[in-house]
A and B are shown apart, each in its own frame.
Chain A
C-alpha cells in the first residue's frame, strides 16, 4: 500500500462531504423557492401540519415535563453549594425557553418526523411513485417537499411554545412537591425574570430546527437508494444529520442572539 493512500482516502472523504454539503444547500434553496411559488398544495400542507405538529405534541410535552422537573432538582442541588437554591424558578425558566425547550423539542421532532418523512418519501422513490408524480405533471419538490418544509417551519415553534410552558410547569410541580417552594412566588419569579426576547429567541430556533428536520427528511428520502436497505439507510441518515445540524444551528443562533 502506498504511504499516501491514507491521505488519498481522507481527500476522497472530504470531497464527498463537500459534495453532500453542496447538494443539501442546493436542495434547501430549491425547497424555499418552491414554498413561495405557486401552485400550493393546501391538502398536503394540512396533512403535514397535523403529522408534524399535532401528533408530535405528546412526545414534546412529555419530554419537556420531565426535563423541567429534573432541571429543578439539579439546580436546587447545585445551587445549594453556594446558597442559591432560591433561583430555581428563574434558571428553570431561562434554561427551558432559551435552550432546552427548542433543542429537545427539535430533537424529538427529528426522531419522530425526519425518520417518518424519509421513510415515506424513500419508499415512494423505490416504488416509482416519485416517477409517477412526474409523469402526472406534478413536481415532487412542490408536492412533497414544500408542504412538509413549510409545515415543520411553522409547527415546531408552536411545539416549542407548548414545550416551554409544560417544561416550566414540570419545574413548578417539582418545586412545590419536592423542594418546598411557594406556588405563587415560584410563578411570580418565573414571569418577572423572563424577557420577551428569551421566549422569541427560542421560537426562532424552533422555526430553524423545524426547517432542518423536514429538509433532511425530504432530502434523504428523495435520494434513497433501492430496496428496504436503501430506505433504512435514508431514514437513519435523516435522523442523524438533522440532529447534528440542530446542535450546530443552535450554537450559531445562540452566538448570534446572546454573544456578548
Chain B
C-alpha cells in the first residue's frame, strides 16, 4: 500500500502541495483528478523520490520512500509518462526492454528482446514496430510503447501520468481499456492522474480530488457522481461556476 501523510512541497514561493493525505490500498487503482497546475505530477514524483518533499511522510508498504536501496525501491515501479518520455536514440524494443538490458534485472539480449516484443504485442503493437525509432511512431503508438515499457519488468506498482492526453477519443478508449486490463491482470497497485473523466470511469477503483495542494475528496468511483463535494461536482461537470476559480 502507498500512504502519504501531510506532504508539503513548494517551488520558491509557489506552494504546490500543502499537506496531502492519501491512502492507496494494495492491488487497487486510484485516479487523482484536479485542474492543471494543482500538483498532481509533483505528487507522483514525490512518491518516486524524483522530487523531495519539504515535509510529510510517504511510505510504500510501511517503508519510507527515502530509506534503503533506492534502485531496489524503483525496481518495484513502472511509470507511463505524459509525453511517453521514450529515448529517441534507442529503437522501440530497447526502450521497452531498457530495464532488462542493464542493472539488477539484466537478461541476455535475445531474451530481453523477446520479452519486449511480447509486451508490445500485449499493448496491441506488431513485432514490426520493435526496430523502429520513437520518432517514426504516431502519438498513440508512442503512448502504447510507453505503456509496454512501464509493464516490461512486471512491476508491483504502476503510475500513469495523463495517459490519454493528446489522443483521439478512440485511441484514448483503447489506452484506457489496456490500462484496466493490465492492472487487473497483473494485480498491480496503480495511481493515475488525469483530467479525462472517461479515463477516470474506465480506470479507477477509487478517485481522489486534488485542489489547492490538498486532497478535497476521496472515495470509490461509484460514489463520484454523488460525492456531494462542490469541488468534485464542478470538476466532473466541467462548470465554470463553483469554488474552483476558472482563471488561475
Residue in B48, B77, B88, B102 whose beta carbon sits within 8 Å of that of A138 in the complex: B102
Complex contacts, A138 vs chain B, CB 8 Å: 98, 102-103
Which of the candidate stretches A24-32, A124-132, A233-241 sits at the interface with the other chain?
Answer: A124-132
A41 to B101, CA, bound (A): 11
Chain A interface, number of residues (Cβ within 8 angstroms): 15
Is B71 interfacial (CB 8 A cutoff)?
Answer: yes
Q: Please tell me if the beta carbons of A131 and B50 are within 8 angstroms of each other in the complex.
A: yes
Complex contacts, B23 vs chain A, CB 8 Å: none
Find the A residue at minimum CB distance from B99: A136
Q: Please tell me if the beta carbons of A39 and B79 are within 8 angstroms of each other in the complex.
A: no
Q: Please tell me if the beta carbons of B85 and A131 are within 8 angstroms of each other in the complex.
A: yes
B52-88 CB contacts (< 8 Å) to partner A? 71, 74-75, 77-79, 81-83, 85-88
Find the B residue at minimum CB distance from A128: B85
Q: Please tell me if the beta carbons of B83 and A127 are within 8 angstroms of each other in the complex.
A: yes
Instruction: Tell me the smallest distance from the CB of B116 to a CB of chain A, in Å.
Output: 13
Q: Please tell me if the beta carbons of A132 and B87 are within 8 angstroms of each other in the complex.
A: yes
Find the B residue at minimum CB distance from A132: B85
Q: Please tell me if the beta carbons of A134 and B85 are within 8 angstroms of each other in the complex.
A: no
Is B110 interfacial (CB 8 A cutoff)?
Answer: no
Is A2 interfacial (CB 8 A cutoff)?
Answer: no
Complex contacts, A129 vs chain B, CB 8 Å: 85-88
A129 to B86, CA, bound (A): 6
Is B45 interfacial (CB 8 A cutoff)?
Answer: yes
Q: Please tell me if the beta carbons of B102 and A132 are within 8 angstroms of each other in the complex.
A: no
A136 to B82, CA, bound (A): 16
Is B246 interfacial (CB 8 A cutoff)?
Answer: no
Instruction: Tell me the smallest distance from the CB of B138 to a CB of chain A, in Å.
Output: 16
A132 to B103, CA, bound (A): 15
Is A192 interfacial (CB 8 A cutoff)?
Answer: no
Complex contacts, B50 vs chain A, CB 8 Å: 131, 134-135
Q: Please tell me if the beta carbons of B83 and A137 are within 8 angstroms of each other in the complex.
A: no
Q: Name 23 interchain pairs, CB-CB below 8 A, sorted by A.
A: A47-B89, A127-B83, A128-B81, A128-B82, A129-B85, A129-B87, A129-B88, A131-B50, A131-B81, A132-B81, A132-B85, A134-B49, A134-B74, A135-B48, A135-B74, A135-B78, A136-B74, A136-B98, A137-B74, A137-B75, A137-B99, A137-B103, A138-B103
Instruction: Give the 10 A-B CB pairs with smallest separation, nearest first.
Output: A132-B85, A128-B85, A137-B71, A135-B79, A137-B74, A128-B81, A129-B85, A136-B99, A136-B98, A137-B103
Apart from A137-B103, A138-B103, what 8 extra A-B contacts exist at CB < 8 Å? A123-B88, A131-B50, A131-B81, A132-B86, A134-B48, A134-B49, A135-B74, A137-B104
The residues of B with any CB-CB pair to A shorter than 8 Å are 45, 48-50, 71, 74-75, 77-79, 81-83, 85-89, 98-99, 102-105, 149
